[in-house]
Chain A
Amino acid sequence: MEVLLITGSTIEEGRLAKGGDKFKAEYTKECAACWIATVDFVTLCSPEKVKVTSKNGKHSVVVYAKCTDSVRPGNVFMPKAIWTNVVVDPDTLSTGSPLYKGAPVKIEPTEERVLSAEDIVLKVYVRGQ
């Protein structure tokens, strides 16, 4: 399913990040999440986890799915953290700042494992898995 990705802060994300708890399971649970509109969530057969893939198909990340009425169908929300940045397009449109809000991505149900922040760094960024 093609959707527009909106990223942003949540109060719990801020509390855990500023508290230096980025390696805690609580942080992964809060931030490795994709908030999906109810209609889209049902269309995807109410998955526990989804794989979010960048528009060019180069990068993808597995996160927990969360059903919400806070976004309109066709849009998804992810808290700003290392997981969402895996699929953010590095093109800055000559401004220095990537397209953190409103970037097209694909989401699909998955049974793959959700990686911790440390695993994202070591397995995805360092070893290129």
Chain B
Amino acid sequence: MVFKNIVCPACGAACDDIQVELGDGTIETKNACKIGNVKFKEIVSSHRLRQPLINKGGRLIPVPWDEALEKATYILTSAKRPLLFLGSEISCEAHEAGLHIGEYLGAVVDSNTSIYHGPTVMGVQEAGKVGATEGQKKNRCDLIVYWGTNPLESIPRQMSRYEVFPRGYWTKRGRFDRIIITLDPRKTLTTEASDFHVQLTPNSDYELISALLTLLHGKIPHPSVEEITGVPISAMEELLYMMKNCNFGFISIGLGLSSSIGKHRNAEIVMNFVKEINKFTKFALGVIHAHCNVAGFNQVASYMYGYPFGLDFTRGYPRFNPGEFTTVDMLREKDVDAALVVCSDLISNLPADCATYLAEIPLICLDIVPCPTTVISDIVLPGVIDAMECDGTFYRQDDVPVYFEPFTGSPFEFTKSNEDTLRQLFAKIRKTK
């Protein structure tokens, strides 16, 4: 049977034009990228986790659903300060359920934002973001700046679907009506597809943006900036000239800004730069999210508790202090004593000191396939694939909510969705504690 306009749960682009042909144990997709295609194959893959597992003597043994939930409840209610890490490939509804559990338990609740784009969100808090939707970009943008990101490899359809190649109302010739500039310390597929590549020195983003701001204000930056950034002032002037003279410019920022020295200050100054350049022409800024519903957790947590990530409920009310209540810092300082990881291979993304401690404490993992995190888990709960097997809401990377409907049902009798699993777990927790 063929299903159209299915939402892809692979990355932040949340493409909603996927065509799926589901057969008996087979699945074929159209319009999906290389990454999205394999995500859809998961639904029929042989390595899918299909039953709850408990670690006994170093081996994962199948157990009944109720037993797994009881054990998970025991771990979470026995802990003094559990960590709930709600991954980004689950719906906002599941995030909401997880946040309620965290508040009830007095836990720390966090998501992928914390590890990757947390500094960018902090930059938004500092400076404010002049944003635009993907539709505005498609119809209006005639200059795109990719700063510290490689979307052709992390979000393969981002350029073809939204920003670079599509024909928009004011950009009728598609790619030919747009100038693409990429700032990246290395050559990538994206830099090859760009008109200009500025190969700056790693950790010099702040200095380069400061120099551009100086030039924007009509002054010449100190010559030492050339040595620091590896970019001649003449190239900065040329870059700024193109930016000032476009009709509608857009800066897509990636982890190159927030994960290098400067962190949230890099994000802050680039947002201030966008505000300043709006005195000359229309300009906006957005974030590239390589994971699906990263923006969703920020939205849901902010709506419910006022903070976008790294929420600590230990005192009974939410507290937010990045660097203290965030996953990496909590694990590094050994400040949590149990963890629930939902749809995220957390251990693969943590520095060694944090991963080692995560391997020491009781760990419950909810996931769809075996991964390094399931190897060290005490309990593994099988996950339902959002956007394929259950409905819900994702936030696209431009903070636009996308409601998705499934084309098949949950493969399990004991749960309808990850949201359902978390609500069942919450019900058991409330009976116990």
Which one, B36, B255, B358, contacts A101 given CB within 8 A?
B255
Residue numbers in A under 8 Å from B368 (CB-CB): 20
Q: When chains A and B are docked, how far (Å) is the Cα of A126 from the Cα of B394?
A: 35
Q: B122 contacts A95, CB within 8 Å?
A: yes
Q: How far is the CA of A105 from the CA of B255 in the complex (A)?
A: 19
Q: Which of these binds chain B: A38-46, A85-93, A106-114?
A: A85-93
- Interchain CA distance A88-B324 in the complex, whole Å: 18
A74-106 residues at the B interface, CB under 8 angstroms: 75, 77, 80-82, 85-102
* Contact A90 B348, CB 8 Å, known A9-B154, A19-B38, A126-B376: no
> Are A99 and B185 closer than 8 Å at their CB atoms?
no
Task: Judge whether B347 is part of the interface by a CB distance below 8 angstroms.
Answer: yes
Check B185–A6 contact: CB distance below 8 A.
Answer: yes
Q: Could you tell me if A85 and B349 are in contact, using CB atoms closer than 8 angstroms?
A: yes
0 or 1 for each of A2-21: is its CB under 8 Å from B? (1 = yes) = 00101111110011111110
Q: How far is the CA of A89 from the CA of B352 in the complex (A)?
A: 8
Task: Name A20's contact: one of B117, B350, B371 (CB within 8 Å).
Answer: B371
Chain B hits for A101, CB < 8 A: 148, 185, 202-203, 255-256, 259-260
Size of the A side of the interface (Cβ < 8 Å), in residues, is 55
Chain A residue with minimal CB distance to B369? A20
Name the A residues within 8 Å of B264 (CB-CB): 95
A69, B324: Cα distance in complex, Å: 39
Q: Do A9 and B290 touch (CB < 8 A)?
A: yes
Interface residues of B (CB under 8 A from A): 10-11, 34-36, 38-39, 41-42, 45, 47-48, 110, 114-119, 122, 148, 150, 152-154, 156, 185-189, 199, 201-203, 230, 255-256, 258-261, 263-264, 290, 309-310, 322-324, 326-329, 332, 345, 347-356, 358-359, 368-372, 375-376
Q: List 30 A-B contacts (CB under 8 A).
A: A6-B185, A7-B259, A8-B150, A11-B34, A14-B290, A18-B10, A19-B41, A20-B47, A20-B48, A58-B353, A69-B187, A70-B187, A71-B185, A72-B185, A72-B186, A82-B347, A85-B351, A90-B328, A92-B322, A92-B329, A94-B324, A95-B322, A101-B148, A101-B260, A102-B185, A102-B261, A121-B375, A122-B375, A125-B347, A125-B358
Known: A11-B153, A70-B187, A75-B185. 15 other contacts (CB 8 A): A8-B153, A9-B153, A22-B372, A72-B186, A85-B348, A85-B352, A86-B352, A91-B332, A95-B122, A96-B118, A101-B148, A102-B259, A121-B375, A125-B347, A125-B352
Please list the residues of chain A having a beta carbon within 8 angstroms of any beta carbon in chain B: 4, 6-11, 14-20, 22-23, 54, 58-59, 69-72, 75, 77, 80-82, 85-102, 117-118, 120-122, 124-126, 128
